[in-house]
Structure 1
Amino acid sequence: MTLDRRSVLAKGLTTTMLGAMASGATSGRAGAQTPPPVSTKGLPPGLPQPSETLDLWPGGAPGLPSPAPVEQVDERSTDPLVNDRAVYGITRPRLVVFRPDRPNGAAVLIAPGGGYRWVVVDKEGYEMGRWLAARGFTAFVLFYRLPGEGWAGGPDTPLADAQRAMRLIRHRARDFAIDPERVAAMGFSAGGHVCADLAARWAAPVYAPVDAADRLSAKPHCAAPLYPVVSMDPAIAHPGSRAKLLGPSPTAQAEAAHSPDRQITAAAPPHFLLHAEDDDVVPVDNTLRLHAALRAARVPVELHLFTHGGHGFGLRKTVGKPVEAWPDLWRAWVRTMGLG
């Protein structure tokens, strides 16, 4: 069937849709994308589950170990009305897409946490994706490869996926009705390390280019590492993340290379930082060191510290606490950044 412009407009399609159709015809997209991570447990009634995904690597992720990991999803919740899934063994890193009904032209790349042991699905992924989409942002939840599973890229493996994701979002901007210059990054806990690493080392050559998308910048418009793993200094590092990322006995050089606070330059994007001072998993000193490095480099930064909140609160564990305000604080801040 052939559609000319008049007949398409007569059917009520917008110019944006026409652009997406043209892009889809020329962008070389894969015919079938890997579905979102799934578990055997039933889903809560009425809760919408995403179905749109975007594979990062058209020819397969680089540096596949042998034997290859097998993707598995653990359901950690005992409440039949609440999901708390975590996925590991990821061999097909991908983005799960949350499209808004009324896009504001901005996008957010979300890196959930999981201590580099796994990647959280719901608490710091889908829940945030839904929140952002409800406010006009196109959200992309990143299921990145885990560095302790034998990939040839070692500790740079999550960064490679984050760089590739940022470039791919920009390359496919017309398909999602977004401005390629207005793509932010957000990450939680170990995903905060992914986010902070991307913001510090967005130009580091951590993989060989594979297509036209890799000619684009991986620099986020702005970055929000939230209660993040930052420093690999054993005095304040999250021990599990450090071990999964660097192994049991890393050198001082490796610790420095993978501590984003020690890699910040004046070229880093503006940052929004958030931490609870009673965090007993990832010490607040991680965020304080990153804040100090950003100030020293004269990078715009906003910092929010809360007395109570603990670790891993995301959205669901903030109710009734002052930290409940954090999403609105972030949204007010990104408006000043021209994001939404």
Structure 2
Amino acid sequence: MIDRRHTLAALGSTVAALGLGSAQAQQHTAPPETLADPEETIELWPGQAPGAPARPPVERIVERSTDPALRDRAITGVVRPRLTVFRPQTPNGSALLVAPGGGYARVVLDKEGYEIGRWLAARGWTVFVLFYRLPGDGWQSGPDTPLQDSQRAMRLIRSRAADYAIKPDRVAAMGFSAGGHVCGDLATRHDARVYAPVDSADRLSARPDLAAPIYAVQSMRLPLAHPGSRTLLLGDAPTPALEAAHSPQDHVGAATPPCFLMHAEDDDVVPVDNTLAFRAALRRAGVPVETHLFAQGGHGFGLRGVAGKPAAVWPELFVRWADTHGLG
């Protein structure tokens, strides 16, 4: 793992580039409330998503912010899994699928989706924010429901690479908290057959070229598991076999892509040991992994929650790491 003191000293101007540096950086870090939502949407499935319950959920968007100038929307009851697209002015050829968090009870739109989408699009990345179905809403595929959506999303992105001026071998995935579990599940089970193919896109690989689970829910075993995510994903009393089936550390192998991991050590919602356990599994399998741990940050901070703290450098660290793997 990288020593934070040496990292921060080496980056120097990086902190400035995240909000206090050049005029270009200042332009790209405008307050999120001043920026419009993306208008481009890609539906994941032709017609209804697979395995719909007899009474499909009702999709609702809830504004959780008490500050009228700062958006913090969350979506519940996702019934139309889809991607919203952040197109850069000058594409660099790389794409990122982003799975926001929300404890598998909701999808946190702004803080862990749109903000990183805008930040990376300003730096040339084409970003696709995933509205994934929630496993507690009665879908027939149960705990594999978010994996269905993330696999399908990766395949659709690759199938439309020419439309977005991206390269099919430069498509990464990132996820936050429970969305980090979506990301980790995709990274380790990208070739699992969890749905029947529906069109030619499903002949393409769902494997991300890089993966970045951020303060991720990873283990489904207590006491390491996040209780709320575990219950919504697996039910009240999952068997040890079911826990293992949905703990990404148990599925790391030679085909797992290089991973970028980040967590705050004072996270009192998803223990940092989730990231450490996943890192250990990656190292045992010989999968390249870069890990950044910060003393402060808590949980669910995205970009806005660590402004002015050392952890604020994490997006730049991700970009620099991805560049060493040919993305960016």
Distance of 1:139 and 1:271 partners within structure 2: 18
Match for residue 139 of structure 1 among 127, 132, 139: 127
* Alpha-carbon displacement from aligned partner over 1:153-189 (angstroms, at most 9, x marks no partner): 1000000000000000000111111101100000000
Give the match's secondary structure for 1:186. Answer: strand
Give the match's secondary structure for 2:213. Answer: strand
Match for residue 206 of structure 1 among 152, 169, 194: 194
Match for residue 300 of structure 2 among 295, 312, 318: 312
The percentage of aligned residue pairs carrying the same residue is 68
Match for residue 148 of structure 2 among 160, 170, 175: 160
In structure 1, the residue matched to 2:136 is 148
Please give the residue correspondences for 1:1-340 in structure 2 after superposition, counting only pairs within 5 Å: 46-340=34-328
Check 1:205–1:45 CA distance in 2 against 1; reply closer, same or farther (3 A cut). Answer: closer
Q: Which amino acid aligns with 2:136?
A: G
Structure 1 position 45, deviation (Å): 6.4
* Alpha-carbon displacement from aligned partner over 1:271-322 (angstroms, at most 9, x marks no partner): 0000000000000000000000000000000011111110011000111111
Give the match's secondary structure for 1:317. Answer: helix
* Alpha-carbon displacement from aligned partner over 1:18-65 (angstroms, at most 9, x marks no partner): xxxxxxxxxxxxxxxxxxxxxxxxxx8642111100000012200000
Q: Which amino acid aligns with 1:122?
A: D
* Alpha-carbon displacement from aligned partner over 1:94-126 (angstroms, at most 9, x marks no partner): 000000000001000000000000000100011
Distance of 1:70 and 1:177 partners within structure 2: 35
Consecutive unaligned residues in structure 1, runs of 5 or more: 1-43
Distance of 1:46 and 1:84 partners within structure 2: 13
TM-score normalised to structure 1 length: 0.86
Distance of 1:204 and 1:85 partners within structure 2: 32
Distance of 1:311 and 1:45 partners within structure 2: 22
Q: Which amino acid aligns with 1:224?
A: A
Distance of 2:172 and 2:194 partners within structure 1: 20
CA radius of gyration, larger in: 1
Consecutive unaligned residues in structure 2, runs of 5 or more: 1-31
Distance of 1:68 and 1:337 partners within structure 2: 41
Q: What do you get for the CA RMSD once the two structures are aligned?
A: 0.8
Aligned residues: 297
Distance of 2:327 and 2:229 partners within structure 1: 31
Distance of 2:283 and 2:187 partners within structure 1: 15
Structure with more of its chain in helix, by fraction: 2
Give the match's secondary structure for 1:184. Answer: strand
Distance of 1:303 and 1:45 partners within structure 2: 31
Distance of 2:238 and 2:168 partners within structure 1: 37
Check 1:45–1:264 CA distance in 2 against 1; reply closer, same or farther (3 A cut). Answer: closer
* Alpha-carbon displacement from aligned partner over 1:108-146 (angstroms, at most 9, x marks no partner): 000000000000010001101100100000000000000
TM-score normalised to structure 2 length: 0.90
In structure 1, the residue matched to 2:7 is none
* Alpha-carbon displacement from aligned partner over 1:174-228 (angstroms, at most 9, x marks no partner): 1111101100000000000000000000000000000000000000010000000
Distance of 1:69 and 1:221 partners within structure 2: 33
Give every structure 1 segment of 4 or more consecutive aligned residues whose post-TM-superposition deviation is greater than 3 Å: none
Q: Which amino acid aligns with 1:294?
A: L
Asked whether the equivalents of residues 33 and 71 of structure 2 are also in contact (C-alpha less than 8 Å), the reply is no
